[in-house]
Copies of this chain bind each other. A is one copy, B any other.
């Protein structure tokens, strides 16, 4: 069924988008879709869709297309949306609180079980369902609860140190929002660097290139 030798990261980064579009199609009541129709919707080529999906096995049917509901759940399974990876947030500042409140972790295979901050004055504050704990509690908490994923919303100067500590406490995956390129030597540690600042700079570049350099005003 699966033929996952080694999937290229280009393909993997497209999977969540397929999953999202298929979810929308289910909401609309669409039951089947061909790679051509989906390609028009998603603005990419039918060829690419077929090739991407085929990395994981033949979900389609010749002369018919794909069953939307079935394909959606297959991709969901591949992504791991049905998992419940225990997840903690480090840093309860503006960004940490916003991510905690704004992202639906449950539908993405993650279960939020704690949020931490080193500032004692906010210990005990509520962030949604969670209560902010002090970072001094991190080690004991991790030994007991064994979280797997950490969301890092802390200043760049502290990121490497905290990440190394968390690795020693058994965490394996990092969703890193600090303006710092986290990299960890262990090869079974996963890091997803977000870099919002870089994203904005890309937009600035595009805006600058598009509006021209003279239209300052």
Interface residues of A (CB under 8 A from B): 12-13, 15-17, 19-20, 42-43, 78-81, 83-85, 93-95, 97-99, 101-105, 108-110, 146, 148-149, 172-173, 175, 179, 181, 183, 188, 190, 192, 194-211, 216-217
> 5 nearest interchain CB pairs?
A80-B208, A98-B98, A16-B198, A16-B201, A109-B204
Q: Decide if B205 touches A78 in the complex (CB within 8 Å).
A: yes
* Chain A at the B interface: SS class: helix
A206 touches B192 (CB 8 A): yes
Using known A-B contacts A183-B43, A200-B175, determine if residue A205 contacts B80 with beta carbons closer than 8 Å. yes
Complex-state Cα separation, A163 to B183, whole angstroms: 36
Contacts A83-B204, A205-B78 hold; do A103 and B197 have CB atoms under 8 A apart? yes
Q: Which residues of B contact A19 (CB under 8 A)?
A: 201
A–B complex contacts, Cβ < 8 Å, 28 sampled: A13-B202, A15-B205, A16-B197, A17-B181, A17-B198, A19-B201, A20-B198, A42-B181, A79-B201, A85-B207, A93-B102, A94-B98, A95-B98, A95-B102, A97-B98, A102-B196, A108-B197, A108-B201, A108-B204, A109-B208, A172-B207, A172-B211, A173-B206, A173-B210, A190-B206, A192-B199, A192-B200, A192-B202
